[in-house]
């Protein structure tokens, strides 16, 4: 039965991941939820042991992810939906961000997704079914000043998802990459928002951070509605590959694509000038 699908959700102790986990459990599904904060996860999700498996997990550790996936399959017998949700936002200019800071952003937002996907795929492929849902961002389509490392990771998640969809389609596995806009979670005030230690004043980092924090509590997106949408697409025979969520995300991505099309048209002759005669 569809409602008995087993979900593996990263970053399940708060924000979007928490709301999706609650929605799945409320509809009779089963959840293996991961978090770096296991007590917070257990506190925020109260469900029977035969429906909910809390896992303390660092998604940047390949071995830990492999063990977590194995625990999920051992407990529930299968995995049907993988939600790569855990994320980390670093604000800072390209010039100012240290090598360590940039790498951490990529490790969490990109390699965490890769680790979970890589270790889930043998099980999904053996089943000849499954759905991988990767959380990117409207910042995976549009670059913004002082968000370069996050842009780099989230752009990569979209490219990864497009390639993955082609690879796994023959095995009955579906892929959706979601690009949320601003949703009313604690993302911009919690430890998932970091600021580069080095601040080169002319880049306006502090103004950028103040702008982000000013959105807290005023974001247009409802995370419970996002959770309902993700549950809904998990029931579809043919879910979308690309899914912006939120009127702000949809509008900004559409405007960006239209501007790109205009730029391509403007420089078409130059673009076409490099072939052999």
Note whether residue 260 is domain-resident.
no
Phi, psi of 190, rounded to the nearest 5 degrees: -95, -170
Is residue 9 situated within a structural domain? yes
Average pLDDT over residues 58-77: 96
pLDDT score, position 184:
76
Q: What residues form DSSP beta bridges with 195?
A: 91
Residues 6+ away with beta carbon under 8 Å from 267: none
Tell me the mean pLDDT in the region 149-153.
Answer: 97
Q: What pLDDT shows up at residue 1?
A: 40
Does 11 fall in a domain? yes
The DSSP bridge partners found for residue 31 are: 7, 52
Domain presence at residue 93 = yes
DSSP per-residue string spanning 80-93: -EEEE----EEEB-
Q: Is position 264 within any domain?
A: no
Closest to 58 (Cα-Cα) out of 31, 81, 88: 88
Separation in Å, CA 119 to CA 63, 71, 85, 143, 163: 10, 12, 16, 30, 17
B/e letters for 115-129, b = 16+ CB within 10 Å, e = fewer, are bbbebbbebbeeeee
What CA–CA distance (Å, rounded) separates 160 from 164? 6
pLDDT tens-digit map of 179-226: 998 877 766 665 667 899 999 999 999 988 888 777 776 777 789 999
| Structural domain contains residue 48 | yes
Where residue 46 falls among pLDDT bands split at 50, 70, 90? confident
Which of left, alpha, beta for 200 (phi over 0: left; psi -120 to 50: alpha)? Answer: beta
Copy the structure tokens of residue 43: 């506190």
Distance CA 108, CA 106 (A): 6
**Domain span holding position 124:** 2-248
109, pLDDT greater than 60: yes
Report field, pTM of the whole predicted structure over 0.85: yes
The answer to whether the beta carbons of residues 157 and 176 sit under 8 Å apart is no
The mean pLDDT value of the chain amounts to 93
Which one has a higher pLDDT value, 215 or 1?
Answer: 215
What confidence category does residue 2 fall into, taking pLDDT thresholds of 50, 70 and 90?
A: very low
Any idea which residues carry the catalytic annotation? Answer: 136, 150, 154
Quote the CA–CA distance of 31 and 3 in Å, as a whole number.
12
List the structure tokens of 165. 């969809």
How many structural domains does the chain have?
Answer: 1
Q: Does residue 273 belong to any structural domain of this protein?
A: no
**Residue 130: strand pairing partners:** 173
User: Is residue 10 in a domain?
Assistant: yes
**Distance between CA 163 and CA 80 in Å, rounded?**
20
DSSP letter for 110, please.
I
Q: 255 pLDDT exceeds 70?
A: yes
Band of residue 3 on the pLDDT scale cut at 50, 70, 90:
low
Return the CATH number at 108.
3.40.50.720
């Amino acid at each position: 039965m569809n409602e008995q699908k087993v979900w593996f959700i990263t970053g399940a102790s708060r924000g979007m991941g928490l709301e999706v986990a609650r929605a799945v459990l409320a509809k009779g599904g089963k959840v293996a939820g991961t978090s770096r904060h296991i007590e917070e996860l257990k506190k925020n999700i109260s469900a029977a042991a035969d429906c909910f498996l809390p896992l303390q997990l660092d998604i940047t550790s390949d071995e830990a992810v492999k063990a977590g996936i194995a625990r999920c399959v051992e407990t529930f017998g299968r995995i049907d939906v993988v939600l790569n949700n855990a994320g980390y936002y670093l604000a800072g200019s390209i010039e100012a961000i240290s090598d360590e800071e940039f790498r951490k952003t990529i490790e969490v937002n990109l390699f965490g997704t890769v680790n979970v996907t890589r270790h889930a795929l043998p099980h999904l492929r053996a089943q000849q079914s499954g759905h991988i849902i990767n959380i990117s961002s409207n910042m995976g389509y549009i670059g913004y000043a002082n968000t370069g490392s996050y842009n780099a990771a989230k752009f990569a998640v979209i490219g990864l998802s497009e390639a993955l969809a082609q690879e796994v389609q023959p095995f009955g596995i579906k892929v959706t990459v979601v690009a949320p806009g601003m949703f009313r979670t604690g993302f911009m005030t919690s430890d998932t928002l970091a600021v580069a230690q080095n601040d080169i004043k002319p880049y306006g980092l502090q103004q950028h951070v103040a702008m982000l924090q000013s959105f807290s509590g005023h974001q247009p997106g409802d995370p419970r509605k996002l959770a309902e949408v993700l549950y809904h697409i998990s029931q579809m025979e043919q879910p979308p590959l690309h899914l912006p969520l939120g009127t702000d995300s949809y509008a900004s991505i559409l405007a960006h694509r239209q501007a790109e099309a205009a730029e391509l048209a403007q420089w078409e002759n130059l673009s076409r000038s490099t072939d052999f005669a």
